[in-house]
Amino acid sequence: MNKILLRDITLDGIRKDILIAEGKISKITPHQAGPCPVQDGTETVDCSGKVAVPGFVNMHTHAAMTLMRGVGEDMVLRDWLDHIWAIEKHLDEPFIYWGTLVATLEMIKTGTTSFNDMYWFSPEAQKAASKMGLRNLTSFTFLDNFDREQASHQRDVCLEMFSQVPSWDPRSTFSVSIHSVYTVSEETILWVTEFARKHGLRIHIHVSETRKEVEDCKAAHGGLSPVGYLDELGVLGSDVIAAHCEILSDEDIEILGRRKVNCVHNINSNAKLASGYKFKWKELSDAGANVCLGTDGAASSNNLDMLEAMKTAAFFQKAWREDPSALPLKALLDLATVNGAKAMGANTGRIEEGFDADIQIIDTDSTFFLSPGPFLANFIYSAHSDCISSLISGGKFVMRDRKVPAEREILDGGRAQLKIIENYIKH
Amino acid sequence: MNKILLRDITLDGIRKDILIAEGKISKITPHQAGPCPVQDGTETVDCSGKVAVPGFVNMHTHAAMTLMRGVGEDMVLRDWLDHIWAIEKHLDEPFIYWGTLVATLEMIKTGTTSFNDMYWFSPEAQKAASKMGLRNLTSFTFLDNFDREQASHQRDVCLEMFSQVPSWDPRSTFSVSIHSVYTVSEETILWVTEFARKHGLRIHIHVSETRKEVEDCKAAHGGLSPVGYLDELGVLGSDVIAAHCEILSDEDIEILGRRKVNCVHNINSNAKLASGYKFKWKELSDAGANVCLGTDGAASSNNLDMLEAMKTAAFFQKAWREDPSALPLKALLDLATVNGAKAMGANTGRIEEGFDADIQIIDTDSTFFLSPGPFLANFIYSAHSDCISSLISGGKFVMRDRKVPAEREILDGGRAQLKIIENYIKH
């Protein structure tokens, strides 16, 4: 793998030279003007006027659903699900492969270098993500609808898939998903948890997304909330990635904090589907939980843009807390980068020597950055993802000057899949 | 003025040819394939695969403040104002001219063709907006701080400015602003209203932006809210553009509706400064008010992107009303286009024969539009303003393929102004 030298790039307000070798940030030095002092075989990239930001870590998505966005707009959740399920019945491996390619193309164009996926036909998803050069935590998803036969079948498929993991790309990590407490039986939840702990796999689960989910759980499990119920089953721990965590009691927050659960905020999806918006990032964080950010699937959110998700998250926090200082810039960036890295167990999310080289290169030559304010404010609150001119993932350029290899092929392949599912769309 | 033929452009899902002449949409016909049937002197533009959308109408901003964004981030309103006022004391004509150029450059890049401005040194603002080819409603702003001398001085300056209006560009319209009920005396409010009505000028005013404004007004005016107080003074009418209208009682809504006031929602600013977010667009609209959308100044919002404002507006409406069908796509587009046109009294906001030619040309060749859903959902909820490839304002291209004439000069000129105000920034 070639070395890359990012010359004269601004990092935390200071002009630096960043040397990338073997996929890692190998050396950061103050910028040296004058002739380039590098050895043979190192590619030198002039980054003057540009700013380095860690690649985003999207901690909850359903990547291939990107091809289903816009289905069932302006509808209540129940009708929206009918539209989605009508299509999902017909999904197959090519759909997942091309859908994940389209998703990763969108992630690259919006600065994401790592993502946590929950969907079907996972080997196809990891194949697509690996082809595009993104780190991914890709799960087998359990959703047995309380049916013993389905549960048994899914365990078999999961074990078979797990046996193939050694052949996966090194940037792909296998995990297991429990879809939710309202779609997965207790027996399966216990089996998955034991299986995950035995093999050191992360557990990905939707938790307390809607009020209905919480109320139904309480009715079914002697007054226990989804968090209380999962805790009683021994599921919760620092290896659990709990998506949404939108409807929480004080007791839920205490449990999630004590168990050091990774709680993923998905504000665009929660707001758009009207599931909730008073996410308790501060309370969870203070209690000991690791709070991260995700986009959810594009069918509900409606894109995979983490920069936009950060902005929306801050707007909602400031608005409902009636406090313009709520969720300040530095905390916001942490949610979208280093906290996600921690949840994934990945050595990324910071631009420091020894970390994996996952770097956004930001072009500040636009009105959005013409301001006396701090870079982070301009980046998060004013600019859009098209300010991300280039992206390095695992030490390799996956986008240069807004160009992603194979973009044309991916858009055309995605469009061909859309033609196939057209017949299954409810109108 | 040359004629322009937009060939094979999609309008409401159908492929059309749109002929633009004398600044207007002169003819819309089904797309004719084959050799181009136009006369000499008509510029033909191939728009195949692209979609036409009306140019946005930004109904409330303080354009030149664009150069102050990012000042006082994550601060409560009181501290933020201290930071802004510390700079505003030193503003001069070149700052307004260059600040408005930067603002209009940003508006063009984000699809806006008309805007309603409230700031200082208005002749400079209209000069900049005209240079860039945007329709503008530009006001003299009254803010007398209840000081009779200031009031008298401002009346003189306003009259002098009004006498110069005949020399303004035809796309610039003069109006008067009453800053707010908490900064302008009753005597001045009455004078401005009479002056505006006498000369057929629109009145632009901040109304009920914060809870404090409403409470203070009630204390000062025998229990009357800002809306009640302004109505009692005879100010409210269909020529009034009331920005914010965030904190309203049922009675306020009834009055604003009955008086057919133009109420401008500025969600990004309101959310970020934590002023409020439960904007009653539906109730106001049902009562008879004309509801529009604005970005507010970039110092609070933090940009002038109407596409983003639409998205944020929809997210908040769906979230706080707990109804994902709240503020549907078509209504959202009307808020940002034709409703604003009505408020300005401008013949724009629709792509129909006879309307002014203010047209966004949208490039749909990206992941954001790769979807089985409706174009409007992809445009508003998934894409960003960089999908706006070209923009026609008043029948002329003001942006082609993302390139705006004089962009380099404007960015450099704006940067020079930033250097000057640097000394006045509080740290």
Three-class DSSP labels, chain A:
CCEEEEEEEEECCEEEEEEEECCEEEEEEECCCCCCCCCCCEEEEECCCEEEEECEEEEEECHHHHHHCCCCCCCCHHHHHHHHHHHHCCCCHHHHHHHHHHHHHHHHHCCEEEEEECCCCHHHHHHHHHHHCCEEEEEEEECCCCCHHHHHHHHHHHHHHHHHHHHCCCCEEEEEEECCCCCCCHHHHHHHHHHHHHHCCCEEEEECCCHHHHHHHHHHCCCCCHHHHHHHCCCCCCCEEEEECCCCCHHHHHHHHHCCCEEEECHHHHHHCCCCCCCCHHHHHHHCCEEEECCCCHHHHCCCCHHHHHHHHHHHHHHHCCCCCCCCHHHHHHHHCHHHHHHHCCCCCCCCCCCECCEEEEECCCHHHCCCCCHHHHHHHHCCHHHEEEEEECCEEEEECCECCCHHHHHHHHHHHHHHHHHHCCC
- Looking at residue B418, what is its pLDDT? 94
Considering only the beta carbons, identify the residue of A77, A316, A384 that sits closest to B386. Answer: A384
What's phi and psi for B332, nearest 5 deg?
Answer: -60, -45
- Say whether residue B406 is in contact with chain A using an 8 A CB cutoff: no
Does residue A259 have a pLDDT over 70?
Answer: yes
Judging contacts by C-beta atoms under 8 Å, the chain B residues touching residue A373 are: 69-71, 73
How far apart, in whole angstroms, are the C-alpha atoms of residue A180 and residue A117? 15
- Looking at residue B8, what is its pLDDT? 97
Single-letter amino acid, residue A39: Q
Average pLDDT over residues A295-324: 97
Q: What is the pLDDT of residues A212-238, one digit of tens each?
A: 999 999 999 999 999 999 999 999 999
B238 CB burial (10 A radius; 0-12, 13-18, 19+): middle
- Say whether residue B162 is in contact with chain A using an 8 A CB cutoff: no
CA distance B221 to chain A (A): 26
Judging contacts by C-beta atoms under 8 Å, the chain B residues touching residue A385 are: 384
Does residue B38 have a pLDDT over 80?
Answer: no
Considering only the beta carbons, identify the residue of A271, A302, A371 that sits closest to B70. Answer: A371
Q: What is the pLDDT of residues B319-334, one digit of tens each?
A: 999 999 999 999 999 9
CA distance A425 to chain B (A): 8
How far apart, in whole angstroms, are the C-alpha atoms of residue B364 and residue B384? 11
Choose from B100, B104, B329, B367 for mutation: most chain A CBs within 10 A.
Answer: B367
Single-letter amino acid, residue A315: F
- Say whether residue B160 is in contact with chain A using an 8 A CB cutoff: no
Judging contacts by C-beta atoms under 8 Å, the chain B residues touching residue A329 are: 73-74
How far apart, in whole angstroms, are the C-alpha atoms of residue B122 and residue B130? 12
Does residue A1 have a pLDDT over 70?
Answer: no
Band (B76; pLDDT cuts 50, 70, 90)? confident
- Determine how many CB atoms are found less than 10 A away from the CB of residue B148: 11
Does residue B107 have a pLDDT over 90?
Answer: yes
**What sign for the dihedral angle of Cα B383, B384, B385, B388?**
negative
Q: Note the ipTM here.
A: 0.97
Determine, for residues B370 and A66 on separate chains, whether the beta-carbon distance falls below 8 Å.
Answer: yes
pTM of the model: 0.97
Q: What is the pLDDT of residues B90-106, one digit of tens each?
A: 999 999 999 999 999 99
Judging contacts by C-beta atoms under 8 Å, the chain B residues touching residue A368 are: 106, 303
H/E element holding B27? strand B24-30
C-alpha triplet B115, B118, B119: angle, nearest 5°: 125
CA distance A168 to chain B (A): 26
Determine, for residues B415 and A370 on separate chains, whether the beta-carbon distance falls below 8 Å.
Answer: yes
How far apart, in whole angstroms, are the C-alpha atoms of residue B12 and residue B266? 27
Average pLDDT over residues A317-330: 96
Determine, for residues A324 and B68 on separate chains, whether the beta-carbon distance falls below 8 Å.
Answer: no
Does residue A427 have a pLDDT over 80?
Answer: no
- Determine how many CB atoms are found less than 10 A away from the CB of residue B106: 26
* A369 Cα distance to chain centroid: 26
- Say whether residue A148 is in contact with chain B using an 8 A CB cutoff: no
Is-contact A338 A349, C-beta < 8 A?
yes
- Strand extents, DSSP E, B66-195: 112-117, 135-142, 172-178
CA distance B328 to chain A (A): 6
Which residues of chain B from 332 to 371 reach within 8 Å of chain A, CB to CB?
365-368, 370-371
Determine, for residues A381 and B73 on separate chains, whether the beta-carbon distance falls below 8 Å.
Answer: yes
Average pLDDT over residues B336-344: 98
Name every residue whose Cβ is closer than 8 Å to that of residue A398 and which is 6 or more positions away in sequence: A108, A113, A132, A133, A134, A391, A392, A404
Size of chain A in residues = 427
Judging contacts by C-beta atoms under 8 Å, the chain A residues touching residue B422 are: 372
User: Which of A55, A48, A60, A61 lies closest to A23, judged by CA?
Assistant: A55
CA atoms within 13 Å, Cβ hemisphere of B85: 6
User: Which of A180, A290, A173, A153 lies closest to A235, judged by CA?
Assistant: A180
Report the percentage of chain B scoring pLDDT > 70. Answer: 99
Which residues of chain A from 318 to 337 reach within 8 Å of chain B, CB to CB?
318-326, 328-329
Determine, for residues A414 and B367 on separate chains, whether the beta-carbon distance falls below 8 Å.
Answer: yes
- Looking at residue B422, what is its pLDDT? 85
Determine, for residues B328 and A415 on separate chains, whether the beta-carbon distance falls below 8 Å.
Answer: no
Band (B1; pLDDT cuts 50, 70, 90)? low
Q: What is the pLDDT of residues A170-197, one digit of tens each?
A: 999 999 999 999 999 999 999 999 999 9
- Looking at residue A92, what is its pLDDT? 95
Choose from B371, B389, B421 for mutation: most chain A CBs within 10 A.
Answer: B371
* B162 Cα distance to chain centroid: 22
Q: What is the pLDDT of residues A97-120, one digit of tens each?
A: 999 999 999 999 999 999 999 999
Which residues of chain B from 217 to 276 reach within 8 Å of chain A, CB to CB?
268, 270-274, 276
- Say whether residue A385 is in contact with chain B using an 8 A CB cutoff: yes
Is-contact B75 B84, C-beta < 8 A?
no
Task: Classify residue A258 as left (phi > 0), alpha (psi -120 to 50) or beta.
Answer: alpha
Mean pLDDT (chain A, rounded): 96
